[in-house]
Amino acid sequence: MSQKKFWFGKKKQVDSQSDLTEDNIPRHVAIIMDGNGRWARRRGLPRVAGHHSGMKNVKKITIAADDIGVEILTLYAFSTENWKRPQDEVDYLMSLPQEFFPLEIEELIEKNVRIRMTGWKEGVPGHTLEAVENAIERTKHNTGLILNFAFNYGSRKEMTEAMRAMVRDVQLGKLKPEDITEEEYSNRLQTSGLPDPDLLIRTSGELRISNFMLWQLAYTELWFTDLYWPEFSENHFFEAIREYQNRVRRYGGL
Ligand code: V0D
């Protein structure tokens, strides 16, 4: 079987990936980056310190995904439900995109990473949107890995909006009820144009989907770990990929 060695930069080889097979790398990996607050409390730190640590881990895992040939990495950064958190925590989270870019964007541009966003702009502070849009703009001609931030995202809202768009098109006579198909519906979701995730990783021990890409995850392999997001390393990521490669994907067939 063909084996590939994966290298980080010029020196650091991460050894546990050498048994990944080059074929059958998932095209699209999605991650629910959970456990940042708990990781911090465990260390006697404020929750926001965990979010900062979690942000540092985003670049590391993005580069690892790029190195093995993943095409799309979707990261669940902020849900439509996260607004219910204490205001100072929300404020801190909304400062992360601004912080992320001066620190991480040069390397991501160098790696040919393209940033995109899934979610709604409504309610997101102007300074946060500006940072996100700047990143999207500065990487829009890149042709490498798509780093897709799910930000102010919720799946039921996404599906409700897609339904509203379809009903409107029916009312306008642009779509006949008998022409409503899975494809017509998918095309009205925020993820239109992206393949569905092949693998979903959730850190921090919760065994739930939590309103994340409910439609898109229909045939996705699920992989859970007790590790908190800030301690989830490249080698843990490769472990998830390896297990994915060992599962037989049948799509309901035989
Ligand atoms: C906190 C762990 C990067 C999860 C990762 C406001 C929770 C760190 C971004 C980011 C967050 C998003 C969009 C963008 C550039 C960077 C981010 C949030 C939270 C939500 F264009 N990390 N990060 N955004 N955390």
- For the chain, list the domains and their CATH numbers: 25-153+196-206+218-245 (3.40.1180.10)
Question: pTM (2 decimals)?
Answer: 0.93
Residue 89 has a CB neighbour count (10 Å cut-off) of 15
pLDDT at 12 over 60: no
The residues carrying an active-site annotation are 34, 82
Residue 186 Cα to ligand 1 middle (Å): 26
Beta bridge partners of 201: 31, 223
User: What does the block give as tokens for 10?
Assistant: 């010029």
Residue 97 Cα to ligand 1 middle (Å): 6
pLDDT at 146 over 50: yes
For 200-252, the pLDDT digits (tens) are 999 999 999 999 999 999 999 999 999 999 999 999 999 999 999 988 666 67
Q: Could you tell me the pLDDT band of residue 103, with boundaries at 50, 70 and 90?
A: confident
Distance CA 57, CA 116 (A): 18
Mutation test of ligand 1: which of 90, 96, 120 has the most ligand atoms closer than 8 Å to its C-beta?
96
Residue 108 Cα to ligand 1 middle (Å): 15
pLDDT at 183 over 70: yes
Q: Could you tell me the pLDDT band of residue 14, with boundaries at 50, 70 and 90?
A: low
Residue 254 is classified by DSSP as -
Distance CA 25, CA 20 (A): 8
Q: Please write down the long-range contacts of 247-253, taking CB distance under 8 Å and 24 or more positions apart.
A: 247/221, 249/219, 249/221, 251/219, 252/219
**What pLDDT, on the 0 to 100 scale, is given for residue 19?**
73
Mutation test of ligand 1: which of 31, 107, 149 has the most ligand atoms closer than 8 Å to its C-beta?
149
Distance CA 147, CA 113 (A): 7
* Closest listed residue to residue 217, CA positions, set 205, 199, 241, 239: 199
Pocket of ligand 1 (CB under 6 A): 33, 36, 51, 54-55, 58, 77-78, 93-94, 96-97, 100, 115, 132, 135, 149, 151, 229
Mutation test of ligand 1: which of 31, 32, 57, 58 has the most ligand atoms closer than 8 Å to its C-beta?
58
Ligand 1: atom nearest CA of 57 is 5
pLDDT at 192 over 70: yes
